[in-house]
Amino acid sequence: MATTNLPFVQQEMIRYGMSIYFALGLIGNICNCIMFTRPLYRRSPSSVYHFSFSICALLYLIWTVSPQLYTLHYPDLQKESVLYCKTRIYGSVVLGLYFRYILVCACADRFFATRVDVRLRSLSSVKVAIVLIVITFIVCVLVAIHIPVLMDIRSNSCGMFGVYKLIYAFYQIMTNSVLPPASMIIFSALTIRSLHQRHTALMHARNRDRHLLRMIIAEVVVNIITAVPYSANLIYGVATYYVVNKSAQRLEIESFMTFLAQFVIYMLSVAPFYLFLFVSKPYRNEFINIMATCQTKCIRQRNRIMQARIQNQTATINDQAIYDK
């Protein structure tokens, strides 16, 4: 029996908060996929990274949020099937790693694109981006391979147990909370420095680079914001690993704080589209143009349908008049 209201609050956050996350994330990432295949962005390697990020974010939301919504009305399969338990957590970790390190690649691409050295600048290309995307995915799959091997179900709970729980906490801190944000900050700082060092004759290119850089920096900021509570929760877990005989109230509070840290993490897969609209005027204008074009096509299509109906009605009336005569 629950000793606090936190389990109820958690359930309501899943019911309403996760549903909002899911809806906004699907809409935003689908719009991103459309935007980054437009002529304005299609030839940019940075757009390839963003497109890959959006596809991964879509899969991540479907893979992680759908089961939580399912458990609101049905039994949690993760507590009943070891195979499902391992597969779901493994897939979640791989996808989470992938879109973080794709963002690192995007930051590195902006750095290479702003370099004066031709050899370094040549690393900013669509071909290199595709190769890095494939390599990143393979590395993420291999790095997380220990999860399906060592995870298990115990006491009606799917998770890590024993020493592996402590090792997994350190693993998560390094791979999710330290390396990605640190790499993003370093590449972003170097890119800003490169932009300031470039010649004034390249002002047009600098302005274009700045808009792409703003979009990436917005994602970096969200990544750091989401990493802080998640890291704090992991560090707390490590610090209290050897604490035994915890009260039921404390266990519920710790479980809720873990859920809250994971809840914030979803922002990384939901926010990018809305951030891009806010920080990038070219992106915003292109999106408005797409909406205006779609609206015009819908109006034209509706007018055609109405005209066809009027013509059919007129023809029917004429035929009826001829028949009556």
Q: Where are the domains of the chain?
A: 6-279, 284-325
The mean pLDDT of 61-78, rounded to a whole number, is 86
pLDDT at 192: 79
- The pLDDT tens digits of the residues spanning 171-198 come to 888 888 889 989 988 988 888 787 776 6
- The pLDDT tens digits of the residues spanning 285-304 come to 888 888 888 888 888 877 77
User: Which fold is adopted by the domain 6-279?
Assistant: Rhopdopsin 7-helix transmembrane proteins (1.20.1070)
pLDDT surpassing 70 at residue 323 = no
- Distances in Å between the Cα of 140 and the Cα atoms of 91, 93, 96 are 10, 9, 9
CB count within 10 Å of CB 102 equals 27
pLDDT surpassing 90 at residue 5 = no
More confident residue, 268 or 138: 138
Q: CB–CB of 306/235 below 8 Å?
A: no
Tokens found for residue 304: 């055609």
pLDDT band at 2 (very low <50, low <70, confident <90, very high): low
More confident residue, 104 or 247: 104
Farthest-apart Cα atoms in the chain, separation: 98
CA dist., res. 240 & res. 269, Å (int): 30
pLDDT at 101: 93
What pTM was computed for the model? 0.85
pLDDT surpassing 50 at residue 200 = no
The mean pLDDT of 276-290, rounded to a whole number, is 85
